[in-house]
């Protein structure tokens, strides 16, 4: 059983959703829980050096325990993370995470995603991004920022394909993209 921060909102079960990806694989997309901390550490250990570096702009042999703890404990309002579990949610592993956190600008949330290497290219990043932006909109957030290494073409393409870009600037190899959720067609 997991516990939550006394300041946190109630666990948003409405955000749990089974999804079938382009390759036919099933995942359960759900909000992160504090008991996911060891699964986050295990996910990090399965990332390639390049994937870990593209997400964190650095590389460690192991995800620092304080980071795993902070990542697994959110308030479900101002800080939210969605995770993907394979096979419709067996609880054994995480293969992707999308999150938003407060940024320096109170009207803007910073987002970040990471997908396990062998789960990339099957639509999981798009699913997590779209679900995260929907959840953020339901919580009154409309403007986002992402800091992406300029060489991370996959993430840059994902943001351009699934969001409404408001501005983009690159400095010292990092692209700052400000965007909004794309309106439904």
Residue 1 pLDDT grade (very low, low, confident, very high; cuts 50, 70, 90): very low
**Domains of the chain listed by start with CATH number:** 13-141 (3.40.630.30)
Highest mean pLDDT among 84-88, 102-106, 118-122: 118-122
DSSP-based three-state secondary structure for 171:
strand
- Confidence at residue 167, expressed as pLDDT on a 0 to 100 scale: 96
Place of tokens 């096979």: 87
Q: Which two three-digit tokens encode residue 61?
A: 């042999």
- Confidence at residue 6, expressed as pLDDT on a 0 to 100 scale: 43
What is the pTM for the complete model shown?
0.89
- The H-or-E segment that residue 163 falls in is strand 163-171
Interval 30-73: pLDDT, tens: 999 999 999 999 999 899 888 776 786 667 788 888 989 999 99
**What are the helix (H) ranges across 32-184?**
37-46, 49-56, 65-72, 124-138, 153-162
Q: Which two three-digit tokens encode residue 176?
A: 């700052």
């Amino acid at each position: 059983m997991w516990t939550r921060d006394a300041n946190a909102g109630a666990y948003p079960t409405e955000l749990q959703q089974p999804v079938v990806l382009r390759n036919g694989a099933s995942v359960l997309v759900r909000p992160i829980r504090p008991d996911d901390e060891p699964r986050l550490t295990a996910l990090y250990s399965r990332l390639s050096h390049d994937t870990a570096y593209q997400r964190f702009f650095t590389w460690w042999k192991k995800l620092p325990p304080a980071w795993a703890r902070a990542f697994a404990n959110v308030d479900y309002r101002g800080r939210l993370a969605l995770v993907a579990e394979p096979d419709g949610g067996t609880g054994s592993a995480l293969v992707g995470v999308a999150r938003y956190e407060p940024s320096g600008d109170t009207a803007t949330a910073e987002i970040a995603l990471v997908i396990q290497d062998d789960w990339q290219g099957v639509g999981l990043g798009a699913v997590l991004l779209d679900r995260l932006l929907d959840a953020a909109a339901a919580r009154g957030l409309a403007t986002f920022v992402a800091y992406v290494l300029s060489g991370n073409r996959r993430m840059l393409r994902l943001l351009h394909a699934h969001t409404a870009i408001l501005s983009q600037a690159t400095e010292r190899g990092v692209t700052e993209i400000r965007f909004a959720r794309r309106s439904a067609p």
